[in-house]
Amino acid sequence: DQQVKQNSPSLSVQEGRISILNCDYTNSMFDYFLWYKKYPAEGPTFLISISSIKDKNEDGRFTVFLNKSAKHLSLHIVPSQPGDSAVYFCAASDRGTYKYIFGTGTRLKVLA
Amino acid sequence: DAGITQSPRHKVTETGTPVTLRCHQTENHRYMYWYRQDPGHGLRLIHYSYGVKDTDKGEVSDGYSVSRSKTEDFLLTLESATSSQTSVYFCAIGRSSSGGHPEAFFGQGTRLTVV
């Protein structure tokens, strides 16, 4: 049973527009959520995180939103740039174990 | 650079042979992880460690064992490699960027092919 789900395998967005990537989770014990970006032949790179005590966290062009009641988080990238084209993974962790469970990823393509 | 080195970076091995992958960190972090990445499955946790000689299973631990005899090294062993273990393996450390909950920082990966 997959605890972290990314239901959109791919997404295409025009350069300069907003990219919205979505993630759902099922385990109510998760209290920390993260987004990663991955280029081919490289390890995933940490982008941004959010604690369950918050509902929004911003870092430059990246904003993560958390809706605990819906068990849903999203990553907004504004404005999108061609260099943002990559696979994006969401991940969740609980304070007790610090184990990170990842979703299956969404491939973002930003069109110039 | 998260100070993580994985070795080897590429390996081809035969079915039934044992294989050990090494993850070395230079930053003295307590938490270390092994993941595998496969198409359609994303990143799946194999095992993780929360200290020297302290390890626990992840989502897909069958067929894998780990050891952590010192802080800087976390070894992943495939006791008898099978074709289903052909994958890209990533090691990660848990490091806090803000002094709070740690985030996972990944190595470059090891591509393992079992023939």
Bridge partner residues of A75 (DSSP): A21, A64
Between A89-93, A95-99, B69-73, the lowest mean confidence (pLDDT) is in A95-99
- pLDDT bin (cut points 50, 70, 90) of residue A88 is very high
Torsion angles phi and psi, residue B109, rounded to 5: 100, 155
Asked if the bond preceding B39 is cis, omega within 30° of 0, the reply is no
Q: How close A45 comes to chain B (CA, Å)?
A: 7
C-alpha–C-alpha distance, residues B50 and A96, integer Å: 11
Q: Are the beta carbons of A49 and B101 separated by less than 8 Å?
A: yes
- Please state which of the ranges A77-81, B39-43, B67-71, B105-109 shows the lowest mean pLDDT: B39-43
Q: Which residues of B touch A6 (CB under 8 A)?
A: 42
Bridge partner list, B19: B78
Would you say A20 and A5 are in contact if contact means Cβ atoms under 8 Å apart?
no
Query: Min CA distance, B57 vs chain A (Å)?
Result: 10
Res B2: pLDDT: 60
Q: Which of the residue ranges B62-66, B84-88, B93-97 would you say has the lowest mean pLDDT? A: B93-97
CA separation for the pair A72, A16 (Å, rounded): 25
CB–CB of B108 and A43 under 8 A? Answer: yes
Element (H, E) at A106: strand A106-111
Q: In a 3-state reduction of DSSP, which class is residue A84?
A: helix
Omega before residue A79 within 30° of 0, cis: yes
